[in-house]
Amino acid sequence: MENNQDIAFNIFLKNFKKQVSKIGLKNSIQKDYILKVLYFSKKHLTAEEISNEIKSIYNVSIGIATVYRAMKFFHDMKLVNQLDIGDGILRYELNLTEHHDHLICTNCGKIIEFNDDLIELNQIKIATKNNFILKEHVMTIYGLCEDCQ
**How far apart are the C-alpha atoms of 120 and 86, rounded to whole Å?**
23
Q: What's 98's DSSP letter?
A: S
- Domain hosting 124: range is 97-149
**What is the helix (H) or strand (E) element at residue 68, kind and residue range?**
helix 64-76
Residue ranges for the known binding site are: 99, 101, 105, 108, 120, 137, 145, 148
Distance CA 110, CA 1 (A): 35
User: Do 15 and 79 share a domain, yes or no?
Assistant: yes
Coil, helix or strand at residue 95: coil
87 beta partners: none
Same domain (yes/no): 58, 131: no
Binding-site members for Fe cation are: 99, 101, 120, 137
CA distance 95 to 49: 18
Same domain, 47 and 72: yes
Q: What is the CATH number of the domain that holds 48?
A: 1.10.10.10
- Per-residue pLDDT tens digits of the chain, which is 149 residues long: 667 777 778 777 788 888 877 777 777 889 999 999 999 988 899 999 999 999 999 999 999 999 999 999 899 888 898 988 888 899 998 887 677 888 999 999 898 988 888 988 898 899 999 999 888 788 889 999 999 99
Q: How many domains are contained in the chain? A: 2
Q: Are residues 15 and 73 in the same domain?
A: yes
In terms of domains, do 39 and 66 share one?
Answer: yes
Binding site feature residues for Zn(2+) = 105, 108, 145, 148
pTM above 0.75, yes or no: no
Note whether 18 and 81 are same-domain residues.
Answer: yes
